[in-house]
Structure 1
């Protein structure tokens, strides 16, 4: 892979590479790689073929630096239809984030029709020209194909995103990993305004009714509200075949460090 991976394994732990750098502090990691690594390890250690990771919640209560990372997991409940797994993201010996993942066993849908939102009418990623501005996708952190709107533009925003590097060196991106490492984008996409992005998210929750079948994940903003410096943001998620779930976050007013 031409692009540097986000992490390299070293004796069962993970060493961040410069690609992990976040937007708020040049000495800290991007939230998306924290969410992605937690989801990746949970799936590797506890995933099963007939279990869907239907919900992943990650609380990010400290900004980790580039210290070596350990991810520890534990099973809270393993029943016939549900498995609940928790995981800790430990950087330099200090817990920085915690995840909870709920796996649900696949079965048949019950009979009857239930209302759901219509599929979006977005063009396929292959039908959208690559952006001319190199800053699109944070300078190449990911590939993007903008559909409507952009950061800070009025109205609803929609875009396609695809990963351009491995999360962990030598380990293929699974469909769940693709969603997990992309999900943090719901915060800047939903919460950016005409003065830029002034909120840093403290958590991410992803709900999935199925895994993506294509490399591109679509984001459609559906909610943003803020009071007294506390914001919420939400996006519907898609692949090229239709809806797959949603991503939501809570966020705090924040200024960038030089």
Structure 2
């Protein structure tokens, strides 16, 4: 079996593996894997011909490395647009929620445009440096390449990432699952502070997509702005091998450790 972020326990229950462990401690997850797990559930709802246009995640607390349950609902059904919702819970307590707009596809090739230039491809990037003491868990479950910047290089960054594990054991991940496995990292790769000395934790994540992603690689052209009052904003343009695919935004809680 291919290694995975989660093991299926039957129904809507999943067991978190070591590959989900985030940088803040051994008992809490990076937000990438649980975001992908909820997107996987959202893709199974509603009209299969519709595409994700926006997904917003609200972080209600640390996501523990433990057994979790997923629940979903259709908040607004429709022939053209749908509003979907999903919740990730631990022992009955919600730790992460997602709400997504999906739009039924149509041919807009004649008016398509407005994209920013594509990032340089992954084969022109170099491995992103990760210190040994930060190299386990989630960071080791993803292949990281840098065009510029990175986790321990403060400032703007252009990074390619490719998950090396499935979201759920025994299930081939979709391009959407791969994308959501890594885009929460935009705030990390473009951090303006040393995360060994400062907290820069996002309270949310919003992803807008203007087309369906393709392939295994996900690119982030990311930047972070920090204000004088303990609040920051991280944004990125998300790319795949064919060019820009969407954008992300995260509000940041910034404090000295």
Q: TM-score range by the shorter chain?
A: 0.7 to 0.9
In 2, Cα distance between the equivalents of 1:24 and 1:133? 15
Alignment correspondent of 1:88:
87
- CA change 1:231–1:132 in 2 (3 A) is closer
Question: Aligned Cα RMSD in Å?
Answer: 2.4
- Partner secondary structure for residue 153 of structure 2: coil
Whether the 8 Å contact between 1:158 and 1:218 is mirrored in structure 2 is yes
2:163 maps to which residue?
163
Does the 8 Å contact 1:235/1:246 carry over to 2?
Answer: yes
Q: How far apart are 1:227 and its partner, in Å?
A: 3.5
Q: 1:115 offset after TM fit, Å?
A: 4.1
- Assess, with a 3 A threshold, how the Cα gap between structure 1 residues 203 and 133 changes in structure 2: closer, same or farther: closer
Tell me what 1:125 maps to: 122
Deviation at 1:117, TM superposition (A): 2.5
Change (3 A) 1:210 1:229: same
* Separation of aligned partners in 1, 2:108 and 2:83: 22
Partner SS for 2:19:
helix
Higher-strand-fraction structure: 2
User: Closer, same or farther in 2 for the Cα pair 1:170/1:192, shift >3 Å?
Assistant: farther
> Structure 1 residue 151 and structure 2 residue 148: aligned?
no
C-alpha separation in 2, matches of 1:179 and 1:59? 18
Instruction: Using the TM superposition, give the Cα deviation of residue 47 of structure 1 relative to its aligned residue in structure 2, in angstroms.
Output: 5.5
Equivalent residues of 1:38, 1:87 under 8 A apart = yes
Matched residue SS, 1:199: strand
TM-score for both structures, normalised by structure 1? 0.87
Which ranges in structure 2 are unaligned for 5 or more consecutive residues?
none
Which residue in 2 is equivalent to 1:61? 60
Query: Residue 130 of structure 1: CA displacement?
Result: 4.1
Q: 1:195 to 1:132 in 2, by over 3 A?
A: closer
CA pair 47-15 structure 1, distance change in 2 beyond 3 A: farther
Q: Which residue of 1 aligns with 2:7?
A: 8
Q: What TM-score do you get using the length of structure 2 for normalisation?
A: 0.88
Superposition deviation, residue 223 in structure 1: 4.6
For the 8 Å contact 2:59–2:96, the answer to whether it is kept is yes
